[in-house]
Amino acid sequence: MHRRSSSITPPREVKERMRLMKLVLACTVTLVLTMLALAQQPPRPAPQMTVDSIIRLSKAGMTDDMLLATLRARNQPFNLSDDDLIKLKKAGISDTVIKVMLNPAGDKTIPPGAGSGAASPQPGAVANAPPPPVDNTPTATEPKSSSRFRKMLDSTKSAMKQGVSGASSNTGTSAPGGGSLNGGPFVVDQLALRNILSQYDPQTSLSKQFPHVAVTVLKSPPMWGDYHGGFNGCWTLQVVVWSDERTSKTVGPFDWCAPRDEQWVPAPGYHRNMDPMPRLIDYDYTTGIKRMDGPRPPKGVFPNDRETLELFARNNSRHGTMELGLDADSRFAMMFMNLRLAMGQSLADEDRRVWVVSIK
């Protein structure tokens, strides 16, 4: 006699375990897929920084180092208006931070705060050297609108580069009071203009730092805007020296000649913004755009009117109509830097006690 077989039904607890295993597997697959989807999503961009946010961070105690690191990490160039620049300066934002705001991808090797130092002459000048190759043509990755900013930023690096690199062959240190190897003393010594300026104090208004010197260029040599290397020529100058607000004396006309009166020659590739914005404490003291022979300086060290720029362009085969204050390797810049240094003025950006009234 055969016993009939019957199907064995799994116990209830076995079914419950299988259901739980399926549920766990489904959750695990869902979690893995979610993580993969999140990993493939692009990171959320950081919010755009503004002038007000920079000021808030500074007032919150963030150092220049931290501000510079943040600006470079965001890599967000600012398009700063004149009002923005004034607002930043009033808030105490340093020039170094403002420069990185304009160009966060610029030179990252410059230490913060180096822009406020004066460039002092060092021995071993490179005189009569050929100019470095210059290519100011905007590339495919650089829009034309940014080329002017790049020139401005290159020039403002000057205050960080310790730019005047030494004396030329005409140091004349062997003659008492300064003497030229081309014969006789320098013209500044003949006219008793040597070291007439006191030490510049960046914390004090120009209204309390005399003498002031107004320079008028009565006659310029041909192509005075070209590169200074190997140049021979003379400027006819006249200066008005103000010992205080009411007392002045006129010196000249006299000829300043190269290489006779050269003592320092900028090295090739030297850049300097020779006409930066005035300090806030000097804004009300200047004569604005009116260029006078003293006692108060104008807003700009160099004339920037159309007639002067056209004259500069006609005598400059390198940069077209580039502004005088942004061209630190021209023959004119070499003359003016030598004159300033000989009278005892440092090349600190804010020291505006010597200015050019006009150029002929």
Question: In the chain, where are the structural domains located?
Answer: 48-112, 187-359
pLDDT at site 127 = 40
- Please give the average per-residue pLDDT across 230-256, as a whole number: 93
Beta carbons within 8 Å of 337's beta carbon, 6+ residues apart = 164, 264, 266, 274, 328, 347
- Please give the average per-residue pLDDT across 262-289, as a whole number: 73
Q: How many CB atoms lie within 10 A of CB 287?
A: 14
Residue 65 has pLDDT above 90, yes or no: no
**What distance lies between CA 16 and its chain's CA centroid?**
76
Tokens describing residue 6: 């019957």
d(CA 204, CA 186): 31
- Please give the average per-residue pLDDT across 220-239, as a whole number: 89
Residue 356 has pLDDT above 90, yes or no: yes
Is the pTM of the predicted complex or chain greater than 0.75? no
d(CA 269, CA 105): 20
d(CA 231, CA 20): 92
Residue 166 has pLDDT above 70, yes or no: no
**What distance lies between CA 215 and its chain's CA centroid?**
24
d(CA 32, CA 352): 67
Maximum average pLDDT range among 118-122, 153-157, 176-180, 234-238: 234-238
pLDDT at site 100 = 87
- Reported as a pLDDT band with limits 50, 70 and 90, residue 15 is confident
Residue 186 has pLDDT above 60, yes or no: yes
